[in-house]
Structure 1
Amino acid sequence: MSAVKDILRRPGGQFTERSLAGLVFIVGTGAGFALLLTLVRVEWGPLRRIDSGVAAWFNELVSAHHPLVTVLRAITDLGGRPIMVWLVTVAVVGLLIRRQGRLAGYLLVTGAGALALDPSLKALVGRLRPVVDVPVAAGVGNSFPSGHALGSLVAYGALLLVFLPAIRPRWRRPAIAFVAVLVFAIGLTRIALGVHFVTDVLGGWLLGLAWLVVTGYAFRLWRRERGRPVPELTEGLEPEARQDLRPAPAEERMLPHPWAGTAELVTGWVLVFAALYGFGMLVSYYADGTFVAWLDTEVPRWFEEHRTATLDSVSYGWSKAGDTHAILLVSLIFCPLILAVWRRWRPVLFVVLTMFGELSLFLTTARAVDRPRPAVENLDGQMPTASFPSGHIAATMCLYAAIAILVMPRTDRWWRWLTVVAAVVMPLGVALSRIYRGMHHPSDFAGAILLTVLWVGLLYLVVRPNADLEQDDPASKPEPAVLDRVAA
């Protein structure tokens, strides 16, 4: 007996012990899922009554409270396929940029497996979704297992295993607890919204946990075969990659003078709003009989007279390029990318403040000026905001201007000029499409230009997003080789 203990104390013995524990866990979760799948497939009476009773109870509890339904939908979206795919894709690209191909491969294999398991098992089981008295949400496809429960556990679990080394040791257990609570909350919302039975969610969790353990176990075996130590799970998959997994070094001050910078930004925001409000009131209510009023009347009318089915489709596509979802998507791709390449938080802060300021200035000015839409047919129908300034144009202009400001001084490659082209072509295309579709006057476009010039110019002076290029420390500057790899 003592000999066995001595063997287990050795590195090889410890690995064997962990491997056996991992195999037992995999078998246990797999058996649990197989049992649950069998009971669901044969429609076992007691289990079916529990599923129906819980679904009815939650529906009665939730359906009468619309704010609660809104919160539940927001939480459930965190486990949806768009969010999961975005998270894994951004992480994979960042890992490849940081030359962590093994971890990127792990995320790809783990994520692809989850994407394949969900629809195939749903088709195999063919279980219909719950039928409740007051539907508050809708689900697509079959019910068992829950794709949100499976996908959230696999995606968030895999990301946690990959990036644990970048988290300080004292924060690792809270991070694990946070992910566990988030995955549980996402599964609970699927039941509460009436789109899944309890057993659907349990099946998704069991299957996701089994798949996550299988891929994690395979990665640990790979490390062992190459003579690398097998770390505790609380240390992540690749503890040696700690420095490359950290988004960026700690920056003492992202603003040169934090308190003064904050005061300057708040004061500047007020002054920019005042300029927008004054210009908006002038062109909206005090420009009668002027050339501006003639343009605001005749240009939308001319576009209305020359509308065609083809131009309607083209303008719709251009208009969508400037809506909230498109702008948010580009921002959520660009910010992690520049963080992975440049390892600096200040450029990210610049983009975030640019878009937050644009949104707040647009909403406040639109509410204060309250300008009606052009007196032509509005192809996009009734909009929740007023006409001045154009939010689509301002958001597009601010985002692509910020991208060009950040990229141009950081590389001498020819492709940097594409950011300048985008900063001109994208807003112009969105502007023409919005005016064509009868949603804005030409002076609304001018208001978007004014907003962009004043707000982005203010941020450039206060935040100084390219300040790291001015430092003498070569380590603080971006690596040209990295930029060239991204361009390639």
Structure 2
Amino acid sequence: MTQHDTRQPRPADGQDRVRGRAGWAPLGLFAERSVLGLLAVVAIGLGFGTVLLLVRFHWAPLQRLDHGVAEGLNHLVAPHSDLVSALTQVSGFGGRPFMLWLVVLAVLVLLIRRRPRLAIYLVVASTGALLLDPSLKTLVGRVRPIVDVPVAAAPGNSFPSGHALGSMVVYGALLLVFLPAVRRGGRPFLAAGAALIVVSIGVSRAALGVHYLSDVVAGWLLGAAWLGVTAYAFRVWRRETGRAVEPLEEGLEPEAAPQLRPAPAERQVLPHPWAGAAEIVVGWVLTFGLAYALGYAVTHLTAGTPVASFDDGVPRWLQSFRTPGLDHLSHLWSKAGDTHAILAISLVFCALAMALWRQWRLVLFLALTMAGELTLFLGTAAAVDRPRPPVAQLDGPMPTSSFPSGHIAATLCLWTAIALVAVPRIRQWWRWVIVVLAVIMPAGVALSRMYRGEHHPTDVVGAIMLTAGWLGVLMWAVRPNADLRTATQAARDAEQRRG
């Protein structure tokens, strides 16, 4: 009997060649992209090297250009204090403290979303920029520009610009990391926004007279070169671990898009947006009316009463405890309630809340909380126009009136709002830390503001009433914890069906 051959027929030689070419195609495409990327990085590196040599050997044409630009920008900027303030603010977005917090926050978000490779990339890229800047400054030793009317100062040497270098690396790395979270149509706008930030920071450094033009250009070139090297290394890392290497237009990890998108599962931020908006407006008006009524009463109807004596007596009593150490401590605690601190904490919490719970409603709740607090405080303070306590104010003249306390209202609104949305969602024991902070932070700010002679006790009462009224309105209109009630009800229904 003839045995049948069960082996698969061997393909023809032509088919082998076709499959071989198909198998080599991705590798060839990767090699082509790698060569082009390396050529671009080398070209940028050569550009930086050229500028470095020209600066190091004091090439006369470049020196004339640098000094001419510095003098022209100084004559243009120095007479306008508002322009100087604006440029200083823009420059701050490229400062080491701001970018350090930005990177730390982004790394935390990536770790929460379980993208450790991208977190490692951000740390490596940012650390490299942090080390390159002082090393080259020491190597070149170029002094900063000397202009007719100095409007800003900076420590250390001038070449290259650390702000230009750092902003190019940090904002470029963040762009490459989070690009997959943006739809294709929006990616050019995101890239343009990042480029605008980097350019604006570099221009601000030259306009403020703390860097020459060549310092800024060198910072950009070096930052772009380092960004290219780290991006290329990351792509090689992906290739070695068997992952597909996509064009950079897709971001460093295109498959991370579902994890990087803020809230892909949230269907609707508010179920009835127009009705909710109407409730918020009406609630704002009612809260303002209550705050104004209390402010009018304590300002105009309490003269000669025990309330007035108590209001003036507490700041006088606290004034008797003043020492340099307590003055410094009260200043630090008072700063915890100023605009910069409140804004920073709000942004950090919003980013972490989006990473953990992936709901825009929580961000909307906190944003409305702080926006409403600010407008209610400014409106009430202008309408009541209450004088500060009759004691020496350690912070000097303040632009707003005493009632209600803006620092205390902002601190109360912020930490209470955080506790309202975070505590019900956290099951671990440390959720009570948030509750403790929601009590200690406003209490510390209130005590420090009265100690420094800025507020009466009834100003604190006004801030508490403003917070209670406004947060009550938002809890009713926005319903930030509606998803928790829905989940609890669904669990109960499922348990009843099982029973």
* TM-score normalized by the length of structure 1: 0.93
Q: Which residue of 1 aligns with 2:127?
A: 112
**Alpha-carbon shift at residue 78 of structure 1 (Å):** 2.2
CA distance, structure 2, for counterparts of residue 68 and residue 403 of structure 1: 36
CA contact (8 A) 2:294 2:462 kept: yes
Q: Distance in 2 between matches of 1:177 and 1:302?
A: 57
> What's the CA shift for 1:162?
0.5
Q: Decide which of 135, 141, 147 is 1:132's aligned counterpart.
A: 147
Cross-structure match for 2:63: 48
SS at match of 2:79: coil
Q: Describe the shift of the 1:67–1:378 C-alpha distance in structure 2 as closer, same or farther (beyond 3 A).
A: closer
| Cα distance in 1 for residues equivalent to 2:85 and 2:22 | 56
1:156 aligns with 2:182: no
Q: Is the 8 A contact 2:94 2:201 kept in 1?
A: yes
| 1:395 Cα deviation after fit | 0.9
1:268 maps to what in 2?
283
| Residue equivalent to 2:192 | 177
Q: Which runs of 5+ in 1 are unaligned?
A: 477-488
CA contact (8 A) 1:256 1:463 kept: no
Equivalent residue, structure 2, for 1:187: 202
Q: Is the partner of 2:166 in helix, strand or coil?
A: helix
Q: Could you report, residue by residue, the CA deviation over 1:75-109 in whole angstroms, capped at 9, with x for unpaired residues?
A: 32222223212221111000000110000000011
How high is the sequence identity, in percent, across the aligned residues?
A: 61
Q: Which residue of structure 2 lines up, in the alignment, with residue 451 of structure 1?
A: 466
**Which structure 2 residues correspond to residues 210-221 of structure 1 after superposition, within 5 A?**
210-221=225-236
Any idea what the Cα deviations from partners look like across 1:265-289, whole Å, max 9, x if unmatched?
1121111111111111111222012
How far does residue 253 in structure 1 lie from its aligned partner after superposition? 3.0
Match of 1:342 among 357, 368, 375: 357
* Contact 2:74/2:209, CA 8 A, preserved across alignment: yes
- The Cα RMSD (Å) is 2.0
- Which aligned pairs between 1:2-401 and structure 2 lie closer than 5 A? 10-249=25-264, 251-401=266-416
1:485 match: none
| Number of equivalent positions | 472
Amino acid of the structure 1 residue aligned with 2:352: L
Task: Find runs of 4+ consecutive structure 1 residues off by over 6 angstroms.
Answer: 6-9, 473-476
Distance in 1, Cα, partners of 2:347 & 2:289: 30
CA distance in 2, matches of 1:277, 1:474: 40
Q: Does the residue aligned with 1:471 lie in a helix, a strand or coil?
A: helix
Once the 2 structures are TM-superposed, how far is the Cα of residue 122 of structure 1 from its aligned partner?
Answer: 1.2
Which amino acid is 1:347 matched to? L
Correspondence for 2:485: 470
Q: Write the deviation string for residues 145-199 of structure 1: whole angstroms up to 9, x where unpaired.
A: 1111111111111011011111101111222222223212221222222221110
Determine the C-alpha separation between the residues in 2 that align with 1:135 and 1:199: 19
Deviation at 1:7, TM superposition (A): 9.3
CA contact (8 A) 2:266 2:358 kept: no
List runs of 5+ in structure 2 lacking aligned partners. 1-17, 492-499
Residue from 444, 451, 458 that aligns with 1:429: 444
SS class of match (2:430): helix
- Scaled by the length of structure 2, what TM-score is found? 0.91
Q: Distance in 2 between matches of 1:202 and 1:305?
A: 56
In structure 2, relative to structure 1, the CA distance for the partners of 1:162 and 1:313 (3 Å cut) is same
How big is the shift at 1:472?
Answer: 4.3
Q: Which amino acid aligns with 1:338?
A: A
* Secondary structure in 1 matching 2:391: coil
Q: Distance in 1 between matches of 2:489 and 2:234?
A: 36
| Alpha-carbon distance between aligned partners in 2 of 1:198 and 1:232, rounded to the nearest angstrom | 33
- Work out whether residues 404 and 459 of structure 2, in 8 Å CA contact, stay in contact via their aligned partners in 1: yes
Residue 414 of structure 1: SS of its match in structure 2? Answer: coil
Shift of 1:473: 9.7
The one-letter code sitting in structure 1 at the alignment partner of 2:211 is H
Q: Distance in 2 between matches of 1:243 and 1:301?
A: 58
| AA matched with 1:184 | V
Q: How has the CA–CA distance of structure 1 residues 64 and 315 changed in structure 2, closer, same or farther, with 3 Å as cutoff?
A: closer
Output the CA distance in 1 between the equivalents of 2:474 and 2:427: 24
Q: Which moved more, 1:164-173 or 1:197-206?
A: 164-173
Q: SS of the counterpart of 2:396?
A: coil
Distance 2:129 2:322 in 1: 46
3-state SS of 1:383 partner: coil
Mean alpha-carbon deviation: is it higher for 208-217 or for 282-291?
282-291
Q: Distance in 2 between matches of 1:440 and 1:407?
A: 31
2:495 maps to none
Aligned position for 1:481: none
Distance 1:257 1:388, change over 3 A: same
Inter-partner Cα distance in structure 1 for 2:329 and 2:48:
49
In the other structure, the counterpart of 1:409 is: 424
Q: What secondary structure is seen at the aligned counterpart in 1 of 2:427?
A: coil
User: CA-to-partner distance for each residue in 1:224-261, whole Å, 9 max, x for gaps?
Assistant: 11111111000000011110011112644322211111
Are 1:8 and 1:14, in contact at CA under 8 Å, matched by a contact in 2? no
Aligned to 2:496: none
Larger Rg: 2
